[in-house]
Amino acid sequence: MYKKMDFHVHYLTKSYRDFLMEHYGPEPEHFKTPEWDVEKQLKVMEENGIEYALLGISSPYFCCMDTAKTIEAVRKNNDEIAEMLSGHEEKLGFLAALPLPDGDHSLKETERALLKGAKGFSVNTHSDGIYLGNPALDPVMEEMNRQKSIVHIHPTQPARIPEGVCDGFPIPAMEFFFDTTRTFVNMCLNHIFERYPDIRFIFSHAGALAPILSDRLDVFFKRYADDRPDLDFALKQAYFDLAGYVEPRQLELVLEVASADHLLYGSDFPHTGTMTVAKNAKALEDTKKLSKGQKEMIFFENGKKMLWG
């Protein structure tokens, strides 16, 4: 068993649960909110050789079209997770939430959260329909770039979904991948990777559909985009976690476009159950698509370098 650092794993504070229940109900996005606490987290880590976990927010995010409620919920969440992890800093770290899309209060919360011990920030692909890459978020991007922040981007339900098709099907099954891809492309079109090269962006689930669409996207970027985004630079600049079902097909695709030193292990616990966490980890450990050295990088060394140099 390889020693691991987990870069796609979630915490659920009481304040976050309360927010979900009030605004989304017990099964947001047709997916039941799982149980989680520090003891459960440490147990699954021990069982899977995970020496450190960087916990972040899943989906839905803290946004409800009410700025005051969002700001209050975010502050409570960040205070609560910092307190919950006190005494476990050698094993557990956290990414703070932000009251996006409110730029001014997000800037204030970045500073406050870092003082609370946050290692970076956990955001969704969009907040209240404002997608990453939107110029309205440039001040937040500028500050994150100055801080050389870690920013984990988690998919969420798209701002709009066609009606009358796949009704009732869990949103994470397909829509998460569509929204991750949409966000990556939007960030490319707005030159986020070139303009803010010091932000360590981590995209979930091996970049979703971006790797498989990369050849097609590159053609359209060069022919139709006014200022020709550099897709190759974006794919090499971004980090991709390998949470979910990357074997037997997805891993091969992301290896063709991304650098192995920009791939990170992710369990997706607790939204992925303990048995599946173990199964997915073993699939990566056993794959012949990676050398032993690449596995050591992806499971541990890349994350160690990101966090501690």
For 167-190, how does the pLDDT look when each residue is reduced to its tens digit (9 = 90+)? 989 999 999 999 999 999 999 999
Q: Mean of the pLDDT values across residues 40-67?
A: 95
Confidence check: pLDDT of 150 > 70: yes
How far is the C-alpha of 192 from the C-alpha of 199, rounded, in Å?
A: 9
Q: Mean of the pLDDT values across residues 99-122?
A: 97
Alpha-carbon dihedral angle through residues 230, 231, 236, 241, given to the nearest 10 degrees: 140
How far is the C-alpha of 231 from the C-alpha of 257, rounded, in Å?
A: 10
Phi first, then psi: give them for residue 122, nearest 5 degrees. -115, 120
Alpha helix (H) residue ranges in the chain: 14-23, 38-48, 67-84, 103-115, 138-147, 171-189, 192-195, 210-224, 231-237, 250-257, 274-286, 292-296, 302-308
Confidence check: pLDDT of 270 > 70: yes
The total of structural domains in the chain comes to 1
In our burial notation (b when 16+ CB lie closer than 10 A, e otherwise), range 143-152 reads bbbebebbbb
Name the residue range of residue 139's domain: 4-308
* Adjacent-strand bridge partners of 92: 53
The reported pTM is: 0.96
Instruction: Judge contact between 141 and 196, C-beta under 8 A.
Output: yes
Q: Mean of the pLDDT values across residues 50-74?
A: 93
Q: Mean of the pLDDT values across residues 226-231?
A: 88
The DSSP-derived string for 99-141 is: -TT-HHHHHHHHHHHHHTT--EEEEESEETTEETT-GGGHHHH
* Amino acid identity, position 265: Y
Confidence check: pLDDT of 227 > 90: no
CATH number at residue 271: 3.20.20.140
What pLDDT, on the 0 to 100 scale, is given for residue 224? 78
- Sign, Cα dihedral of 43, 49, 55, 56: negative
Cα dist from 242 to 73, 109, 194, 308, whole Å? 29, 29, 24, 21
Q: Mean of the pLDDT values across residues 136-160?
A: 97
